[in-house]
Chain A
């Protein structure tokens, strides 16, 4: 394989970072888990190109970047948005795609979500830190130089197959299968009650479920700010303790924040609810200004949904890996 396989950032997107499934086991030192915001889309991108779920992906908030491939590659794009190659050719989402050397891709937003993922067969040529490739912004470590991509960055990738042979007379070749996630985008985001829910007055508790909220434009990988009813209740000084991704925090001004992937490991605001793990990816993709509704579920329901999602991803991984393996051997 050539040793100069890389992508070059021609134009940076709104927030492009290297992510993976997160950095676990270091939160007692204040080091956040981080990782992909929409873990389902990120994993599916990896599975489509035959990677394991632990491989790094490029996460792109839309509008995304313009990237140029210095070498042919097998890639997959998932999540939201649309992507075009030179001369405005639309490139497929949710399929393995061969791209030729020199291909330029650029990502535009669509109304269906906020984040796109790019996986590359073989993964990115990066060093993991504390067991993860994920960008840790707080200490500018890991990922790509510990920061979002900038114009001019050249990010090397690995590849173990020779895509060039499969690209005669074409610059982009989508493989003949596709996997679309059947996600019910508009159903309520499901919540579990958290320790400080009882601080809210009854009216506010009702509003949390009966009224609709939306995601504020000033929301990012650290937290999603909700626009909607201001909740009231009894204020109490809290002693800081650990906080999870998906934690719905009641701020002193009555507003609500939901902690997302890059949240600090500890916090001192009242935690009134917790978004169930199975809904975190769906929440991450929630289009701005679209109404969000919440709904209570039980912890047992949340566990069942999470295990179902996990089982679904395991099956998906096997199916997509087999598909690719048989295509690659069959077409030789």
Chain B
């Protein structure tokens, strides 16, 4: 038996600026399917994913248990037992898919959305940035320039994953694209800011990790008993700005 992904687009989405993105469906088991835009790590694609995410979040289908956006995909997880009983004996998954596609097709106007813009302080002092100097050397850039490039870009939160609250930000300027460590560190402190490929990210909590660590933020990115517990949300725009070691050390804790 072979996978038979339904390659025919189920949606064509006007991403604004006159471009149409075809969206296909991939099943992930019998309790989830994924809406898939052409693979890309770019803002243009992600705007479409985020719009689908918001439309479905606001629609509050009772049988949808999770909506998981990523770079070019939105995964919809559902509980078939919460579906209103249908006597047509049609597969519950097919019913869910049909309802969702109908809903998204009916509301397929180019919705204007406000992105949140967050400013994140980052201390790039070498005591908090174990890979800064070696990475600058590897990239053949002065350290200051590497930092300057890192803070000059407005990043987008493409997705959260790996750890609760771990935000994948990007894309980074191609001059500072850097490979992961081949051997991950066993303990990366919370707040560490790293680069991996064309992505940058912040470790919300202490964990193992293989990203190139170039700084640290004093902000708490994950606070279990706040709602939501994560500072960064999918679709947010983020700018980092440099702070001194003194400012870092004196940053008020919440």
Contacts and interface: CB of A to CB of B under 8 A. Distances in A.
Interface string B1-45: 111110000000000000000000011111110100001110000
Nearest to B64: A25
A187 B139 CA distance: 55
B69 A306 contact: no
Interface string A267-297: 1000100111100000000000000000010
B29 A193 contact: no
B-side interface size class: 35 or more
A33 B66 CA distance: 9
Interface string A239-264: 11111101100000000000000001
A118 B2 CA distance: 41
A244 B32 contact: yes
A28 B2 contact: no
A247 B26 CA distance: 14
A221 to B, nearest CB: 15
Contact of B69 (A28, A197, A246, A275): A28
A265 interface: yes
Contacts of B73: 241-242
B38 to A, nearest CB: 11
Contact of A27 (B4, B77, B163, B225): B77
Given A239-B39, A276-B29, A24 B65 contact: yes
Contacts of B30: 192, 276-277, 299, 302-303, 306
Interface stretch (A11-19, A136-144, A164-172, A176-184): A136-144
Nearest to B30: A302
B77 A28 contact: no
Interface in B234-249: 234
Given A240-B159, A241-B71, A242-B34, A194 B93 contact: no
Given A241-B73, A271-B28, A195 B5 contact: yes
Given A193-B1, A242-B34, A302 B26 contact: no
A307 B92 contact: yes
Chain A: number of interface residues, binned into ranges: 35 or more
Contact of B230 (A29, A275, A276): A29
Contacts of B165: 29-31, 139
A241 B34 contact: yes
Nearest to B166: A30
Contacts of B205: 138-140
A79 B234 CA distance: 39
A130 interface: yes
A198 interface: yes
Contact of B228 (A27, A29, A139, A302): A29
B224 A32 contact: no
Contacts, number: 155
B66 A28 contact: yes
Contacts of A310: 81
B67 interface: yes
B70 A139 contact: no
Given A242-B75, A244-B28, A307-B81, A138 B68 contact: no
Contacts of B92: 303, 307
Contact of A244 (B31, B53, B72): B31
B251 to A, nearest CB: 21
Contacts of A274: 28-29
Interface string A297-320: 001101100110010000000000
A198 B26 CA distance: 13
A197 B2 CA distance: 7
Interface in A138-175: 138-142
Identify whether the interface residues of B are mostly helix, strand, loop, or mixed: loop
A266 interface: yes
A139 B224 contact: yes
Contacts of B132: none
Interface string A177-212: 000000000000000111111100000010000000
A32 B164 contact: yes
B3 A195 contact: yes
Contacts of A327: none
Contacts of A138: 163-164, 205, 207
A306 to B, nearest CB: 6
B161 interface: yes
Contact of B91 (A197, A296, A303): A303
Contacts of B207: 138
B29 A25 contact: no
B230 A30 contact: yes
Nearest to B158: A240
Nearest to A31: B164
Given A195-B28, A246-B29, A247-B29, 11 more contacts: A24-B66, A27-B67, A30-B166, A139-B229, A194-B26, A195-B3, A196-B3, A197-B3, A240-B71, A276-B29, A306-B30
24 contacts: A27-B77, A28-B68, A28-B160, A29-B165, A29-B230, A30-B164, A30-B166, A31-B164, A139-B222, A193-B1, A193-B4, A194-B28, A195-B3, A197-B3, A198-B3, A240-B70, A242-B70, A244-B77, A264-B163, A271-B28, A302-B29, A303-B92, A306-B31, A310-B81
Interface of A: 24-33, 129-130, 136, 138-142, 192-198, 205, 239-244, 246-247, 264-267, 271, 274-277, 296, 299-300, 302-303, 306-307, 310
